[in-house]
């Protein structure tokens, strides 16, 4: 995966239109001269919109709380340092489901932009966000008293969105963490999509008492509530969300250092049970494909850092 963090070449800036970045109401929005855009809320560093090919690519519930009172239902919430309900007798036990990253206010660290050297002036803009123990609420700091820093980079280019998270241990003690990018992809009709490249992979089915299974399908159809953690995947092999009608890829997701992928759709009953999910029928318009490291724990030694990323290509 290419990391695009080179500064713009001196001299080109004057003649070519440049990406624009605007900051208002606790959101940062970046747009490319070719029309693509991304919006990130400082609350959770949650990407709430990604427009490409003239279309919104991410699902956002009509009742999502955008005022910092609840994690945002839709877009790409960041899950850290625990996935799901925290286990008992663990360093994360006192944290809420999915940790604190999605319900803390991050700092905007700035932007960088570049042009790809290989194609005709394709632009890239990267937005960086930070969260550290000093920015956490008193409550979260008490519940997870480690000295850490997160740097989350959201990189937009013409056909893809990359999100990368660096985790740094700035303290004197080791800590364990799980991490996940909880991406809500927008689809027209859940019954008309398939999820590919999961065949023969082991998954934990959270709808069946967390039992272990092997995926039999080479093109998984979602036909009811689905909540599965696919494990030990090769991050370089893309998970493809394709159209059932013509097998055309709608999204392709490659990862770096993220070997688990959660496939989640609440279906109708669970959708009705979530106060911030609306309309109820909108479960048909989304599929979560969540790249993470959640099967075990990453141990980060004092002074070390770790980095994971996903790259989502749209309507290839
Ligand atoms: O309602 P939350 O906390 O945002 O979680 C949504 C879902 O997130 C998924 O990642 C989990 O696998 C599900 O079990 C969970 O229901």
Which residue ranges make up each domain of the chain?
A: 20-314
281 C-alpha to center of ligand 1: Å? 18
90 is catalytic: no
Strand locations in 182-235 (E) = 184-186, 193-196, 202-205, 211-214, 219-221, 226-230
Interface confidence (ipTM) of the complex: 0.99
**What does the alpha-carbon distance between residue 307 and residue 274 come to, in Å, rounded to a whole number?**
32
pLDDT at 13: 47
Which structure tokens are listed for 95?
């944290």
Give pLDDT tens digits along the chain (316 positions).
444 454 445 445 456 789 999 999 899 999 999 999 999 999 999 999 999 999 999 999 999 999 999 999 999 999 999 999 999 999 999 999 999 999 999 999 999 998 765 555 689 999 999 999 999 999 999 999 999 999 999 999 999 999 999 999 999 999 999 999 999 999 999 999 999 999 999 999 999 999 999 999 999 999 999 999 999 999 999 999 999 999 999 999 999 999 999 999 999 999 999 999 999 999 999 999 999 999 999 999 999 999 999 999 998 7
182 is catalytic: yes
pLDDT at 1: 47
In 95-137, which ranges are continuous DSSP H helix?
Answer: none
83 C-alpha to center of ligand 1: Å? 9
User: Which one of the listed residues 182, 225, 256, 307 is annotated catalytic?
Assistant: 182
pLDDT at 72: 98
Q: Is 73 known as a binding-site position? A: yes
Classify domain 20-314 by CATH architecture.
Answer: Distorted Sandwich (2.70)
Q: What are phi and psi of 60, to 5 degrees?
A: -135, 125
Q: Which residues line ligand 1 (CB under 6 A)?
A: 71, 84, 97-98, 182, 206, 227, 262, 264, 290
Cα-only R_g, the chain: 19
pTM of the model: 0.94
């Amino acid at each position: 995966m290419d990391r695009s963090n080179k500064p713009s070449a001196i001299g080109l800036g004057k003649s070519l239109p440049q990406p624009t970045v605007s900051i208002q109401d606790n959101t940062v929005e970046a747009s490319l001269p070719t029309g693509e855009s991304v919006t990130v809320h400082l609350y959770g560093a949650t990407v709430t919109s990604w427009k490409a090919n003239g279309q919104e690519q991410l699902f956002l519930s009509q009742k999502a709380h955008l005022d910092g009172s609840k994690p945002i239902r839709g877009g790409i919430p960041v899950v850290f340092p625990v996935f799901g309900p925290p286990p008992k007798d663990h360093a994360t036990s006192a944290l809420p489901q999915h940790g604190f990253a999605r319900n803390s206010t991050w700092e905007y660290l700035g932007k960088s932009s570049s042009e790809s050297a290989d194609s005709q002036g394709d632009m890239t803009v990267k937005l960086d966000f930070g969260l550290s123990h000093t920015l956490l609420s008193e409550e979260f700091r008490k519940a997870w008293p480690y000295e850490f820093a997160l740097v989350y980079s959201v990189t937009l280019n013409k056909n893809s969105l990359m999100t990368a998270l660096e985790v740094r241990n700035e303290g004197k003690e080791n800590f364990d963490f799980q991490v996940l990018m909880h991406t809500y992809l927008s689809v027209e009709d859940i019954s008309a999509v398939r999820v590919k490249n999961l065949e023969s992979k082991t998954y934990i089915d959270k709808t069946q008492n967390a039992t272990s299974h092997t995926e039999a399908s080479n093109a998984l159809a979602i036909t009811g509530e689905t909540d599965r953690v696919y494990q030990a995947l090769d991050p370089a092999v893309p998970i493809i969300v394709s159209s059932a009608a013509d097998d055309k890829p709608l999204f392709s997701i490659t990862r770096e250092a993220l070997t688990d992928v959660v496939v989640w759709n609440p279906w109708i009953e669970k959708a009705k049970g979530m106060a911030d999910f609306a309309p109820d029928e909108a479960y048909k318009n989304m599929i979560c494909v969540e790249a993470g490291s959640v099967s075990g724990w990453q141990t980060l030694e004092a002074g070390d850092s770790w980095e994971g990323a996903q790259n989502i290509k749209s309507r290839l």
